[in-house]
Structure 1
Amino acid sequence: MTVKGKKRPSKSLAIGRPPTVKKPRSISRKATRGLINTIHQLEKKKAQAVAKGNKAAEAAADVEIASLGGIQKYQQASLQGQRNDRGGDSSRTLMEWLRPRFSASGLTADGSVRMLEVGALSTTNECSKSGFFDMERIDLNSQSDGILQQDFMKRPLPTDDKHTFDIISLSLVLNYVPDAQGRGDMLLRTLDFLKKPDTTKSHDAFPCLFLVLPAPCVSNSRYMNEPLLEEIMKALGYMKTHSKTTQKLVYYLWRRILRAPTRIPTFKKVELRSGSTRNNFSIVLHGSTA
């Protein structure tokens, strides 16, 4: 969906979410978490330096990343983190929420539900094995057959409804976008690829967005909390139908209830909590002029 009066940049996600590789050797949970967090912060510094044209700062970030083992070591930690620190297969939670809705509406496992999985790492997760979905999987650096190497922010816009989806999965993807405006752009862009609500259907599970974030993005951010996230999603035309919080992660299922928002308000980066232990996760939307 294009916001009237504003031209949204199609910002590449590559600098925010380094790639992964197959078959990593096991490393400890503590080492995994520390390495992922450190390199992720360095990648954010690098992205900021690139945006400002600061070649010296960009080179310094590259040196620090290399000193930690470079992108190859990050790749190893990233897949290990999928098992240890990032909740394993997050689509299990999604299927726990959807199966009762499928049953109530009489929907069978006939592969009729179109699903776009952004940041896909596996072709054998719970959604893929369920039989309900016609899966399309993309990732910045595909390491598996069945996953298209593609940047969601560069994906060509649908030309007709046949190229839209009933559900989009953003599982631990939004937090890898290196800046607040980019995260807002990504959420806004989901509206381009999701089908519009159809009240004539026998079930109301779709269209929807499955969103998974590290829990501290919502529970311990200076600039984000649960009410603000709900306000942002409501402004985009979403309604929260399910949520779940664990020690590490927060899971959401948002159903699209508006065909098109009439006006999207501006959401700025505003401090909601103070304290030196807070993180800086935030989402910014410039809004529409209509």
Structure 2
Amino acid sequence: MTLKKKRQSKSLAAGRPPVFQRPKSITRKATKALINKHHLLEKRKKQALAKGEAQQAAAIDAEIEALGGLGSYQEASLQGQRHDRGGDSSRVLMEWLQTSLTSHKEVSGRPLKMLEVGALSTQNACSQSSHFDIVRIDLHSQGEGILQQDFMERPLPKNDSELFDIISLSLVLNFVPDPKGRGEMLRRASKFLRAPGRYLDSSSLTINFPSLFLVLPAPCVTNSRYLDEELLTKIMTSLGYVKTASKTTQRLVYYLWKRDSALQASGKRFAKKEIRAGSTRNNFAIILD
């Protein structure tokens, strides 16, 4: 007689692994395809909603859920933070800031405040550095220590205690489905940063703070019909930033933009305009109304 195996009941926690558990590995090619598919569907959904096509938008939502929803996008993004896939993008930021942060800590001992938008982990380089008091938010929290929140709906700061020294937008702007939304995100980020004059008593901080850490897939800047580094610099300058550091790899572009007391947001408009022709170009753009 065949004995039936006793079924073991599973807890709710079994269906949701902790944030520190490594996700099941998928190939780099599959990761890229999944992320690109999510971006395409989000863009189509945004267009459908703009046209009032609720039924079409619902159908696209179903496609997104069939791919695994936002969770599958985030899992694919987490693959990119593995050391064998290029690693944690905040390691680049720490390389840029290490000298000024060390000098600041020796003088004051006070950690700086960081807002990490689109946070996927509580174990990245910035978190482990002890230099930052970090508020982490994401549309779909991956675990404790990450607040589930839409940055575009986060209440604006009411006082100085709610402002930040640095904001991280690492592989976040490219997930915003439309160019105007990307421009609004960049403009809104400035409202959460401290004023540049706040650091006049600390020469080590004046060099880099307050600042915005921006990371994008390299093709968004290097192979777009509507955006290159020159135009991105003009957009950021119009918002009151100056570039203090940058790095370009095959996969990613990294920027550190400091709010400059000598620059005021100009309110200048930037429309979607072709600056590079070619059938192999992508359509990534940033619009400031």
Q: TM-score, normalised by structure 1?
A: 0.84
Q: How far apart are the structure 2 equivalents of 1:159 and 1:221?
A: 38
Q: Which runs of 5+ in 2 are unaligned?
A: 1-16
Q: How far apart are the structure 1 equivalents of 2:69 and 2:114?
A: 33
Asked if the contact 1:108–1:132 (Cα under 8 Å) also holds between the matched residues in 2, the reply is: no
Give the secondary-structure state (helix, strand or coil) at the position aligned to 2:81.
Answer: helix
Q: How does 1:1-290 map to 2 (within 5 A)?
A: 22=19, 23=21, 24-65=23-64, 68=67, 73-83=72-82, 87-104=86-103, 107=106, 110-198=109-197, 199-203=200-204, 204=206, 205-258=208-261, 261=264, 263-286=266-289
Q: Which amino acid aligns with 1:55?
A: A
> Closer, same or farther in 2 for the Cα pair 1:132/1:121, shift >3 Å?
same
Give the secondary-structure state (helix, strand or coil) at the position aligned to 2:177.
Answer: coil
* CA RMSD of superposed structures (Å): 2.4
Asked if the contact 1:111–1:134 (Cα under 8 Å) also holds between the matched residues in 2, the reply is: no
Q: How far apart are the structure 2 equivalents of 1:103 and 1:71?
A: 37
Asked if the contact 2:104–2:202 (Cα under 8 Å) also holds between the matched residues in 1, the reply is: no
Q: Which runs of 5+ in 1 are unaligned?
A: 1-19
Q: Which amino acid aligns with 1:174?
A: L
Give the secondary-structure state (helix, strand or coil) at the position aligned to 1:82.
Answer: coil
What is the Cα deviation at residue 161 of structure 1? 0.8
Asked if the contact 2:114–2:134 (Cα under 8 Å) also holds between the matched residues in 1, the reply is: yes
Q: TM-score, normalised by structure 2?
A: 0.85
> Closer, same or farther in 2 for the Cα pair 1:64/1:197, shift >3 Å?
same
> Closer, same or farther in 2 for the Cα pair 1:107/1:216, shift >3 Å?
farther
Asked if the contact 2:237–2:263 (Cα under 8 Å) also holds between the matched residues in 1, the reply is: no
Q: How far apart are the structure 1 equivalents of 2:46 and 2:84?
A: 25
What is the Cα deviation at residue 43 of structure 1? 1.8
Q: How far apart are the structure 2 equivalents of 1:249 and 1:27?
A: 19
Q: How far apart are the structure 2 equivalents of 1:283 and 1:85?
A: 31
Asked if the contact 1:85–1:248 (Cα under 8 Å) also holds between the matched residues in 2, the reply is: no
**Count of residues paired in the alignment:** 267
Q: How far apart are the structure 2 equivalents of 1:21 and 1:272?
A: 45
Q: How far apart are the structure 2 equivalents of 1:32 and 1:84?
A: 15
Identical aligned residues as a percent: 60
Give the secondary-structure state (helix, strand or coil) at the position aligned to 1:250.
Answer: strand
Name which one, 1 or 2, has greater alpha-carbon Rg: 2
Q: Which amino acid aligns with 1:265?
A: K
Asked if the contact 1:33–1:81 (Cα under 8 Å) also holds between the matched residues in 2, the reply is: no
Give the secondary-structure state (helix, strand or coil) at the position aligned to 1:134.
Answer: strand
What is the Cα deviation at residue 81 of structure 1? 3.6
Q: How far apart are the structure 2 equivalents of 1:123 and 1:265?
A: 37
Asked if the contact 1:46–1:61 (Cα under 8 Å) also holds between the matched residues in 2, the reply is: yes
Q: Which amino acid aligns with 2:39?
A: H
Asked if the contact 1:86–1:249 (Cα under 8 Å) also holds between the matched residues in 2, the reply is: no
Q: Point out which structure has higher relative CO (alpha carbons under 8 A, 6+ apart).
A: 1
What is the Cα deviation at residue 229 of structure 1? 0.4
Give the secondary-structure state (helix, strand or coil) at the position aligned to 2:196.
Answer: coil
Asked if the contact 2:169–2:212 (Cα under 8 Å) also holds between the matched residues in 1, the reply is: yes
